[in-house]
Amino acid sequence: MVRGAVVAVTRLSENKKRLAVINILRQTLGAKRHFVLIALLLACLPLTAAILPEDRFDALYHYYSGGGVDISGPSLLFRKQVAAPVSMSTHYYVDTISSASIDVVTQASPYNEERTEYGLNVDYLNGKSLLSMGYTTSSENDYVADTVNIGISQDFFGDLTNISLGFARGSDTVTRSTDNVFEEQIERRNYRLGLSQILSKNMTVTLAFDLTSDEGFLNNPYRRYRYATTVNNALTESWDYERYPGTRTSTALGMRGLYYLPYRAAIGLEVRQFSDTWGINAQNWQLFYRHPTAMGWLFEVRYRQYSQNRASFYSDLFNAQDAQNFMARDKELSTYSSQTLGITASYGFNTGAISWIERGSVNLSWDYMRFDYANFRNASVNRDPAKGPTYDVGKEPFYGFSANIIQLYLSVWY
């Protein structure tokens, strides 16, 4: 096996893992984390009032470890109001990945790579309307993504209601490290509609609807599916490259409620329903509690649960090669569930030592995640019989793993 041909065999899965990491960052930091580029991930519950964002600087270091994958790197955001109605921000984000995941173990060898992202965003305030425009680009050794987005939000009814609209278009280029000729394109479009309502002095509710349309080469150029074969009257397995449909349309409807308690604490609930044309239906909900102290500390504890069914063309083990038009064995397209338990500690401070700094905060968070797959088996158990018992093909134990996410970040308002 040529290592170069399989060094990124889990590219699609690892990209989704990065998105999962960024989603946890978003949920933990909320509106503070512009440098994760929430608008371009298109999976959040947006909406802010029609005011310009404050001048600020953010610095983050994140670390993810789980399932044989380590992801770490810094992220920086700088935001400045350049004129009375205009604010600009720029961000820089890095992922350094070291992977020996289950797919790599069964089909390839461990690899290391780096992904970098840059972005620029402009906000323009006109009365009670806020117009936002942005551009981001990211690159790694075999994948380049460029995205532009535009959004507008408007306050109504005495600023108690906010409605937002958004659109983003992405153009991705997919290459293969072992094939100088191979090059494919992906076109992505996302449409967003949001409503934020202040119900009382203690309660707010946000609703968000997302429609996403992808077209092009949507599968991993390295990933393979496995199928059953017979050699000398014994059942064994063989592998061939995955084949995905060329289009995918998905919708997501989410709701977030926040209730402020009399003693300055708050409790919140998020729920989200997702479905797509590949047959996947997913649900997740999250409950969180935030508690401030008189000493300037703010603590948050949260619990999140996620579940989905498999895509219509997914199988852990197909009966034969080319058994159907589309064939996939990406575990992220299988039936699985995950649970997340997290905690964040934040300390806000004021400083008189530096005249141009108004205030700041230091934040540390930790999330523990557990993934359990219902129809994706651990095919790696048969790779080294010396490490334990072997299993018949298609009878291996179902796969599962845990992961930890640690984030340390600093925010400064000036």
Interatomic CA distance for residues 305 and 299, integer angstroms: 21
Q: What is the DSSP letter of 395?
A: -
The enclosing domain of 218 has a CATH number of: 2.40.160.40
Interatomic CA distance for residues 73 and 106, integer angstroms: 27
Do the Cβ atoms of 363 and 62 come closer than 8 Å?
no
Q: What is the DSSP letter of 160?
A: T
Do the Cβ atoms of 111 and 104 come closer than 8 Å?
yes
Q: Which helix (H) or strand (E) holds 11?
A: helix 11-29
**pLDDT value, residue 273:** 98
**pLDDT value, residue 49:** 52
Interatomic CA distance for residues 28 and 300, integer angstroms: 9
**pLDDT value, residue 47:** 41
In the numeric block, which tokens belong to residue 205?
């509710």
Per-residue pLDDT of the chain (414 residues; tens, 9 = 90+): 333 333 333 333 344 444 444 444 443 333 333 333 333 333 333 444 568 888 999 999 999 999 999 999 999 999 999 888 999 999 999 999 988 888 877 876 677 889 999 999 999 999 899 999 999 999 998 899 999 999 999 999 888 999 999 999 999 999 988 788 999 999 999 999 999 999 999 999 999 999 999 999 999 998 999 999 988 888 899 999 999 999 999 999 999 999 999 888 999 999 999 999 999 999 999 999 999 998 889 999 999 999 999 999 999 999 999 999 999 999 999 999 999 999 999 999 887 667 778 889 999 999 999 999 999 999 988 776 666 668 889 999 999 999 999 999 999 998
Interatomic CA distance for residues 329 and 358, integer angstroms: 52
**pLDDT value, residue 214:** 98
Burial classification of residue 372, based on how many CB atoms lie within 10 Å of its CB (0-12 exposed, 13-18 middle, 19 or more buried) = middle
Nearest-Å Rg of the Cα atoms of the chain is 23
Interatomic CA distance for residues 139 and 174, integer angstroms: 10
Give the SS3 label for residue 14. helix
Q: What is the DSSP letter of 141?
A: T
The CA-atom distances, in angstroms, between 410 and each of 23, 61, 189, 361 are 19, 9, 33, 6
Contacts of 400 (CB under 8 A, 6+ apart): 370, 371, 372, 373
In the numeric block, which tokens belong to residue 167?
């659109």
**pLDDT value, residue 43:** 34
**pLDDT value, residue 303:** 98
Interatomic CA distance for residues 260 and 352, integer angstroms: 31
Do the Cβ atoms of 186 and 213 come closer than 8 Å?
no
**pLDDT value, residue 368:** 98
**pLDDT value, residue 275:** 98
**What domain range includes position 126?**
3-413
> How many domains in the chain?
1
In the chain, the N- to C-terminal Cα span, in Å, equals: 55
